[in-house]
Amino acid sequence: MEQTPPAPGQIIILNGAPRSGKSSIAAAIQETFDGVWMNLGVDRSMQATPARYQPGIGLRPGGERPDLEPLVAVLYGALYDAIAAHSRLGLNVVVDVGHHDAYAVPQGILFDSARRLDGLPVLFVGVRCPIEVVMERRRNTGYNAPVPAGALDEVPAPVLRWQREVHIPGIYDLEVDTSILSPAQCAEAIRRRLAGGPAPSAFRRLAAMFVRQD
């Protein structure tokens, strides 16, 4: 007897710079939302990537490793195909990523990623955080230790590049600011957005931009 395919699972993409709070929001979603929520994204992908190809999809803006850029595009394709496969099996997926196109050669990865999720329910969330708060979080987790005396307030160039590049082109269904809202409050804002308002359309619009570039 032929089985009816399950309804596709909801996909939530959390996009923001490192230390913006994406992982904490993903954990809050897993803990509080109904149903099974699988956590995929940059951390899981980097854990699976061989050491000599690190940081994989975590490659920072600035064109620092042009030799890795073609692989990064492939790894993102594999990630988003996996996200799509989970959804088509009825599993909900929350994804924490830091999309940018500031490579030595632009890759158009965000547009291709949107294309790979065509026809699936996707909520694209911009996770924003002021650079002052990002720096404080870095200091609290030892990212600036050791540093020269008097240099604690200096913002490293890679951090500035992340802040500048990660929210381009800025097409989202929802944006949250983790300097104002706790992870639980961000998760609740996402829940409310899923429950009401216009149907999410950001990824559909981004996919259309990919078609125009092709």
> Is residue 23 a known part of a binding site?
yes
Compute the radius of gyration of the chain from its Cα atoms. 18
Nearest to 57 by CA among 27, 79, 34: 79
Residues 94-118, mean pLDDT to the nearest whole number: 97
> Is residue 18 a known part of a binding site?
yes
Within 13 A of 83's CA, how many CA atoms are on the CB side?
A: 32
Q: How far apart are CA 61 and CA 49, in angstroms?
A: 19
Q: How far apart are CA 16 and CA 168, in angstroms?
A: 10
Which residues carry out catalysis?
43
- Phi, psi at residue 60, to the nearest 5°? -75, 160
> Is residue 17 a known part of a binding site?
yes
Distance of CA 105 to the CA centre of its chain: 21
Average per-residue pLDDT for the chain: 91
Residues 141-150, mean pLDDT to the nearest whole number: 48
pLDDT above 70 as % of the chain: 92
Are residues 10 and 123 in contact, defined by beta-carbon separation less than 8 angstroms? yes
pLDDT attached to residue 139 = 83
**Structure tokens belonging to residue 106:** 């632009």
Instruction: Determine the straight-line distance between the first and last CA of the chain, rounded to whole angstroms.
Output: 42
pTM value is 0.91
Reply yes or no on whether the pLDDT at 146 is more than 90: no
pLDDT attached to residue 213 = 43
> 3-class SS at 23?
helix
**Structure tokens belonging to residue 152:** 């604690």
> Is residue 20 a known part of a binding site?
yes
pLDDT tens-place string over residues 69-83: 999 999 999 999 999
Nearest to 96 by CA among 79, 84, 109, 112: 79
Domain annotation covers residue 3: no
**Structure tokens belonging to residue 44:** 């899981």
Reply yes or no on whether the pLDDT at 168 is more than 70: yes
Reply yes or no on whether the pLDDT at 136 is more than 70: yes
Q: Hey, which bits of 74-121 come out as E strands? A: 92-97
Domain annotation covers residue 123: yes
**Structure tokens belonging to residue 42:** 């940059």
pLDDT attached to residue 150 = 42
Domain annotation covers residue 56: yes
Q: Which CATH number goes with the domain that contains 95?
A: 3.40.50.300
pLDDT attached to residue 6 = 87
Domain annotation covers residue 1: no
pLDDT tens-place string over residues 47-64: 999 999 999 999 999 999
> Is residue 19 a known part of a binding site?
yes
Q: Give the count of domains, the chain.
A: 1
- Alpha-carbon torsion, ordered 50, 23, 99, 190, to 10 deg: 150
User: Which of 118-127, 133-142, 150-159, 193-202 has the least mean pLDDT?
Assistant: 150-159
Domain annotation covers residue 110: yes
pLDDT attached to residue 153 = 56
Domain annotation covers residue 141: yes
pLDDT attached to residue 205 = 96
Domain annotation covers residue 5: no
Q: State which residues form the domain around 142.
A: 11-213
> Is residue 21 a known part of a binding site?
yes
- Phi, psi at residue 18, to the nearest 5°? -55, 140
Reply yes or no on whether the pLDDT at 122 is more than 90: yes
pLDDT tens-place string over residues 7-24: 999 999 999 999 999 999
pLDDT attached to residue 72 = 97
Q: How far apart are CA 175 and CA 26, in angstroms?
A: 15
Domain annotation covers residue 37: yes
